[in-house]
Structure 1
Amino acid sequence: MNTDFYIKSYCRIKDNTVSLNDSVLFNDASKSFIDFIKSAYKNQNTKYPKFFKMDNLSKLAFLAADVLLKNENLKLENDNNIAIVFSNRASSLDTDRKHQESIQNKESYYPSPAVFVYTLPNICIGEISIKYKLYSENSFFIFDNFNASHLLTYSNSLLSSNKAHEVLCGWVEFDGENNYEAFLYLVSKTGTIKHTEQNIITLYNT
């Protein structure tokens, strides 16, 4: 299997900060995640009206992906052969809780469809795919912790088998206002950082 793959770029959203390749793009002292993500959306000139209807996990994943893919200057009029491989620990638990609350709400006859639609973690992949016309392979895995080994093996396999030209992969976790983190990176056949397990871990922990 060809292992000559590289990390072209990476994005992190954590602690009210958005960074691209370790350069801080935006920082906001807002204590509320909702206030922070709205401010970051406006600051990064992200344009996707449906953003404000998304659940928190999808907002987090979408903004991180948008920052990263805008940096690649993709042509949105073309289909882009980029696979998506995401992972986290909490799945869609934050939205699942809201869905359960809507079911138990005696003032409501029916649970909220707007909430229910996001009770799968891979819905965020669909939102990203729609905007950037990504019709290649996509998967969302649940692990106890960040699993660099799996991301490496799975994305390299997609590239080696020519199922994708590039792979957007990483960790997108949202489990409450104070427990959120996105770390996404783009793997390709060109770049400056070798796609190895140690390099992935180093970037994630930076």
Structure 2
Amino acid sequence: MNSDYYISSFCSIKNNTISLNGSKVYSDENIEFSEFIKAAYKSLNTNYPKFFKMDALSKLAFLAADVLLKNENLNSEEENDIAIVFSNKASSLDTDRKHQKSIDNEEDYFPSPAVFVYTLPNICIGEISIKYKLFSENSFFIFENFNAQHLLDYSSSLLATGKTDKVLCGWVELDGDQYDAYLYLVTKTGTTTHNKKNIIKFYNT
């Protein structure tokens, strides 16, 4: 398998800070996640009104992807051949809890459909795909911990078999007040080699 693929850019959101390629683009240390992510959306001029209806996991993934893909100067009016490979530990557990609570609070068993629609972790992929017209392969994997080797192998396979031109990869974890997003874009040309060492290095940046 061809290993000559490259990381063109990466974005992380953690500790109330958003970074692009290692440089801080937004930070607010004194507010909880729900307020932080809304404030970041407004500050970064994100244009996607449905954002405010998303669950917390989708907001986290969407904003990280939006920061990264805007930096790539993609044309959101045309279809982009970019696959998505995401992973996390908690799946959609944060939203699952809210869904169960809405069931428990309804005497006639009529849970909130607005919450129910987000009870799968891969729904966040759909939101990103709609905004940037990404209609290639997509997958969401659940691991106990961040799995750089799997991201490397799976994305390289997609590129090597010609299923896509680029791959948006990463880890998007949210459980209660704990969250951690790290996304990066793999391309066929560039200067930073897509290997396990660099994936982990940028994750820890």
What range is the shorter-chain TM-score in? over 0.9
SS in 1 for 2:19: strand
1:135–1:106 distance in 2 versus 1, CA, 3 Å: closer
Is the CA contact (8 Å cut-off) linking 1:81 and 1:134 kept in structure 2?
yes
SS in 1 for 2:9: strand
Aligned to 1:117: 117
Q: What is the CA–CA distance in structure 1 between the aligned matches of 2:204 and 2:19, rounded to whole Å?
A: 14
Q: TM-score scaled to structure 1, two decimals?
A: 0.97
Q: What is the CA–CA distance in structure 2 between the aligned matches of 1:107 and 1:17, rounded to whole Å?
A: 41
* Partner deviation per Cα, 1:90-145 (whole Å, 9 max, x = no partner): 00000000000011114564100000000000000000000000000000000000
Aligned to 1:90: 90
Structure 1 unpaired stretches of 5+ = none
Match runs of 1:50-199 below 5 Å: 50-106=50-106, 109-177=109-177, 179-199=178-198
Structure 2: which amino acid aligns with 1:4?
Answer: D
Question: Identity of paired residues, percent?
Answer: 72
Q: TM-score scaled to structure 2, two decimals?
A: 0.98
Structure 2: which amino acid aligns with 1:80?
Answer: N
1:13–1:29 distance in 2 versus 1, CA, 3 Å: same
Q: What is the CA–CA distance in structure 2 between the aligned matches of 1:106 and 1:169, rounded to whole Å?
A: 38
RMSD between aligned alpha carbons?
0.9
How many residue pairs were aligned? 205
Flag as ranges the 4+ runs of structure 1 deviating above 3 A: 106-109
Q: What is the CA–CA distance in structure 1 between the aligned matches of 2:53 and 2:124, rounded to whole Å?
A: 12
Q: What is the CA–CA distance in structure 1 between the aligned matches of 2:97 and 2:15, rounded to whole Å?
A: 23
SS in 2 for 1:36: helix
Q: What is the CA–CA distance in structure 2 between the aligned matches of 1:9 and 1:106, rounded to whole Å?
A: 45
1:32 CA drift (Å): 1.1
